[in-house]
């Protein structure tokens, strides 16, 4: 494994750290109490960014700005075509700065630069897609309620939306939420994870250049336990859109219930790839490797379980192990590196703890299992066999480059294993038999089921999970509707008969 090439990143790391402020009511401001925070690159342990750190007072100002912009400002009252034009300009602005944005994402997150660039380009596509929906959001009408009645159903923007995004895909996930809320006419307060705030902060200038009115989007950098509490609880926030762990998501839902906010939750996963004995062998092996090591396994959609038919299990796993040995781990600024650093020290400890727990439970660590020595936070690609459904490694989200292998004897057992966790985000089925694929896909409890492919995505297709993987859906043509309230206009035509009839 190629772990380091310091020459490739030395010049980049010699540049001054990125400087970020809070974006409130269309202006860049420091925190009211003067607080700041620093971000060190997980791949190089170098200071790469400093930020103004928002406190409660700053969060309240941002919410007040979003409230004013919604209640009094032009954005919710614009033509859909006018909002669409602004969203298209944002998309173009993202593409114009894609290399700059991608570099900062890699420095803060630790993922390979090539992957960051693809993520930013994909995010721009989401803004373009949301622009089309801004012109197509519509209600309904009923002309079948009698000659004296007409029913019209409207879709009103819900109002102020708090958006809390995670550190694994900071710019992409913000772009799965924000443009769709804006297309509906909402305003927003966005809080990226404090360890990967830079790319979302950079979005502020792009919004200004695109002509976004002041207060429509506000961006806060800060710690969840401080400003996240305000964003979840505040009476002037109408909706909470959260992406993160299931544990934190549950707490956020509970707190938001105090003000009965609408919630959208995109949470964890323990996603299976079911490998039948008639699979496209090379494609399934490649997808098993890609599915677990993409973004260092720090992906809610990660294919962290492969369920392999017992007749091919030994041979299939042996080939997955051999290909995993060829995966290039190292400096994310070096071209060709496939797996970069683990994003936070806390996550590094969590991953290693899961590996040790699997070992204690009697599973076999047949590849990797350790931290890579040297500068930066890297973990070896890891494969665990001898896994049984009752083990924690088979049920709990590791969020790292750790693949668990289970076996099955027939389709029914495969489905039972696939559905044996509390999650239901995604899955994949690998077979050349169409009937097998569709039967399995219909019986798996997951929001997305890939058939003979894995981890592909399109803006047109809804994304979200069953059970503890979340509430609601992002993307797709109905995504804008998530940020609306439904209003019924029940209209009577002509003279109405009085209910009260006076006595003679």
Chain-centre distance for alpha carbon 290: 18
Q: How many CA atoms lie within 13 A of 77 on its CB side?
A: 7
460 is catalytic: no
Query: How buried is 46 (Cβ within 10 angstroms: 0-12 exposed, 13-18 middle, 19+ buried)?
Result: middle
Return phi, psi of residue 494, to 5°: 80, -165
Question: In the 8-state DSSP scheme, what is residue 498?
Answer: P
For 329, the token pair is 């781990």
For 21, the token pair is 């402020």
For 290, the token pair is 């890609």
Q: Are 177 and 165 in contact (CB under 8 A)?
A: yes
In terms of DSSP H, where are the helices of 402-497? 411-418, 434-443
Strand 272-275 and strand 426-430: the pairing is parallel
d(CA 457, CA 271): 15
Active-site choice (186, 299, 300, 437)? 300
d(CA 134, CA 81): 7
Could you write out the DSSP letters of every residue in 381-394?
Answer: -EEEES--TTSHHH
100 is catalytic: no
d(CA 205, CA 80): 23
Chain-centre distance for alpha carbon 125: 15
Residue 470 pairs in a beta bridge with 266
Query: How many distinct helices (H) and strands (E) make up the chain?
Result: 15, 21
Active-site choice (266, 474, 481, 482)? 266
Q: Is the Cα torsion angle 397, 176, 155, 75 positive or negative in sign?
A: positive
Q: Are 462 and 425 in contact (CB under 8 A)?
A: no
Residues belonging to the active site: 266, 300
């Amino acid at each position: 494994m190629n772990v380091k090439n310091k020459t490739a990143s030395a010049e980049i790391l010699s540049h001054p750290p990125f400087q970020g402020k809070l974006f409130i009511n269309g202006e860049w401001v420091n925190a009211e109490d003067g607080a700041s925070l620093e971000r060190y690159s997980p791949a190089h342990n170098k200071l790469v960014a400093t930020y103004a750190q928002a406190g409660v007072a700053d969060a309240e100002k941002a919410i007040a700005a979003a409230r004013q912009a919604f209640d009094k400002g032009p954005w919710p009252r614009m033509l859909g075509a006018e909002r669409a034009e602004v969203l298209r300009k944002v998309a173009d602005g993202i593409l114009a700065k894609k290399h700059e944005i991608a570099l900062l994402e890699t420095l803060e997150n630790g993922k390979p630069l090539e992957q960051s660039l693809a993520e930013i380009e994909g995010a721009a596509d989401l803004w373009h897609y949301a622009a089309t929906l801004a012109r197509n959001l519509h209600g309904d009408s009923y002309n079948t309620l009698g000659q004296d009645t007409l029913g019209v159903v409207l879709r009103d923007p819900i109002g102020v939306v708090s958006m809390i995004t995670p550190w694994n895909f900071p710019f992409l996930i913000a772009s799965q939420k924000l443009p769709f809320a804006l297309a509906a006419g909402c305003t927003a307060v966005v809080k990226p994870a404090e360890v990967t705030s830079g790319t979302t902060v950079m979005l502020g200038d792009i919004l200004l250049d695109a002509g976004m009115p002041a207060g429509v989007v506000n961006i806060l950098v800060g710690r969840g336990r401080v400003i996240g509490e305000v964003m979840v609880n505040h009476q002037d926030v109408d909706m909470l859109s959260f992406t993160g762990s299931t544990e934190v998501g549950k707490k956020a839902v509970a707190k938001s219930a105090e003000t009965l906010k609408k919630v959208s939750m995109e949470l964890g996963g323990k996603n299976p790839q079911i490998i039948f004995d008639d699979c496209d062998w090379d494609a399934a092996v490649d997808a098993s490797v890609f599915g677990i090591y993409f973004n260092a396994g720090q992906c809610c959609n990660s294919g962290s379980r492969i369920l392999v038919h017992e007749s091919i299990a030994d041979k299939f796993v042996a080939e997955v192990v051999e290909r995993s040995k060829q995966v290039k781990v190292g400096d994310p600024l070096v071209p060709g590196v496939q797996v970069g650093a683990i994003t936070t020290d806390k996550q590094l400890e969590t991953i290693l703890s899961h590996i040790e727990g699997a070992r204690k439970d009697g599973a076999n660590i047949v590849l990797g299992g350790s931290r890579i020595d040297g500068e930066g936070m890297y973990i070896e690609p890891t494969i665990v066999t001898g896994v049984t459904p009752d083990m924690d490694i088979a049920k709990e989200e590791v969020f790292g480059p750790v693949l668990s292998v289970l076996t099955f004897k027939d389709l029914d057992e495969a489905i039972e294993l696939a559905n044996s966790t509390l999650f239901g985000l995604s899955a994949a089925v690998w077979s050349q038999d169409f009937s097998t694929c569709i039967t399995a896909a219909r019986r798996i409890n997951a929001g997305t089921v890939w058939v003979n492919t894995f981890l592909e995505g399109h803006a047109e297709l809804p994304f979200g999970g069953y059970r503890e993987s979340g509430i609601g859906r992002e993307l797709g043509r109905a995504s804008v509707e998530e940020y609306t309230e439904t209003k019924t206009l029940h209209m009577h035509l002509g003279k109405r008969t009085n209910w009260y009839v006076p006595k003679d």
